[in-house]
Amino acid sequence: MPEDARDYYSELYQKTMKKNIPFVGQWELNTNCNLNCYHCYLGRQRQCYGLPLVKIKSILDELADLGTLYLSFTGGEILLRKDFFEIAGYSRKKNFAIRLLTNATLIDEDAADKINALNPLSVDVSLYALNPVIHDRITGMIGSQELVIRAIKLLRKREIKVVVKTLFMKENLAEFNPIKYFCQDNGVEFQFDFTMTPADDGSIDVSRLGLEKSQIEDVFSENNILVSRRQDASLDALLCAAGINSFFISSSGNLYPCIFLKKNMGSLLRERFQEIWNSSNFNNFRAIDAQDFYNCRQCGLVGYCNHCMGLSLLEHGNLLGASSLDCRLALVFKNVYEKRRSKYGEEKEELSETSSHL
């Protein structure tokens, strides 16, 4: 008979990993966008209007049957799709827990009401600066910052969870504190990143736009941001959930292990999700062993590293290398962590030598 409702989430999550249940998905509904951000990982490929509604609905039906619970909708700009609320409404009808990733410029009172009716987990909004000149220069649209701020306020007025996501680059680094305080004042979660993802077409000059190592370290020290060292510093800890219990669907209907891992596993226009998910493409990918990460085997930064096979693929054309972006950030984390430890007088841990290609 019924027992108490239990909080066995992590156990169940592990089960989805073990059984390769596609539990978490991200879906790029379109790539067309009303902004022209100069760091956009889509590069110049921003003209895809996405799959037709009927196809999307049939994929949603299949995903619900296969056990997908979490689904993030991203673009391009998702609200440019005329049928966006039909897609999102249908996914709620099928009981998915949804997140919306948007540049927020198209959210007015009416859209905010419709979003509220969807009960999303969150609306994740890109905000690059509180100074409108800087934000607008990054997005390439004058007035875009004002629209984003308006949207955030409209969403918060309805008590919708908002997550501000900011990629910090040379151009907007000075905006860290203004954005942080804005988020605090408005009950908004603040997530930030320093890793610029190179575009497939090579159209982003990462080294020109991205931050220096010392600049990233300063952000952490000045803001007293804690960096933790993973307890499990074995190579296995570098493996992520991509393709194991999570997936990415591109605007043209291709299935990938992750948004950053552009290894096309098959087309949902030609095959059903389950066929691709259980195909040798995916199974071979899942068979990758962390010991295969040839650059990482002797590395002392494993405990600080958010290793990404996708970045390695972009940089080296293979999944098993180490992306210089990951290595750089891992070194930053190590420095920040150790500085903090020595400041507070804790014993310094011995680390083996760092990888030679850093």
Partner 1 sequence: MLWKGKIPFKSPEVAWRTVDGESIIVLTKESRVIVLNEVGTYIWELIDGRRSFQEIVTAVTEEFEVSALRATEESAAFLEEIAAKGIIFLKDKD
Site residues for partner 1 per CB under 8 A: 1-9, 11-12, 15-16, 19, 21, 23, 64, 67-69, 92, 95-98, 119-121, 159, 161
Q: Fill in the amino acid letter for 236.
A: D
Binding of ligand SF4 by 295 (CB under 6 A): yes
Query: Would you say 44 or 93 has its CB closer to partner 1?
Result: 93
Torsion of CA 202, 205, 210, 213, to 10 degrees: 90
Query: Out of partner 1, ligand SF4, none, which partner does residue 305 contact, by CB within 5 to 8 A per kind?
Result: ligand SF4
Binding of ligand SF4 by 299 (CB under 6 A): yes
Least Cα distance to 343 among 247, 226, 175, 207 occurs for 226
To partner 1, the closest distance from the beta carbon of 122 in angstroms equals: 8
Q: Fill in the amino acid letter for 353.
A: E
Number of C-beta neighbours around residue 30 at 10 A = 22
To ligand SF4, the closest distance from the beta carbon of 220 in angstroms equals: 17
Query: Out of ligand SF4, partner 1, none, which partner does residue 330 contact, by CB within 5 to 8 A per kind?
Result: ligand SF4
Reading phi first (left if > 0) and then psi (alpha if -120 to 50, else beta), residue 307 is in beta
Binding of ligand SF4 by 35 (CB under 6 A): no
To partner 1, the closest distance from the beta carbon of 73 in angstroms equals: 14
Q: What is the 3-state secondary structure (H, E, C) of 221-244?
A: HHCCCCCCCCCCCCHHHHCCCECC
Pick one of 276, 296, 319, 332: the residue that binds ligand SF4 (CB under 6 A): 296
Which positions from 221 to 260 touch ligand SF4 by CB under 6 A, shown as an x/- string? -----------------x----------------------
Query: Would you say 7 or 350 has its CB closer to partner 1?
Result: 7
Binding of ligand SF4 by 330 (CB under 6 A): yes
CA dist 270 and 280 (Å) reads: 16
3-state SS, residue 293: coil
Burial call 40-71: b when 16+ CB within 10 Å, e when fewer? bbbeebbebebbeeeebbebbebbbeeebbeb
Contact between 351 and 304 (Cβ < 8 Å):
no
How big is the site for ligand SF4, counted in residues (CB under 6 A)? Answer: 13
Binding of ligand SF4 by 307 (CB under 6 A): yes
Residues that bind ligand SF4 (CB under 6 A): 238, 295-296, 299, 301-302, 305, 307, 322, 326-327, 330, 355
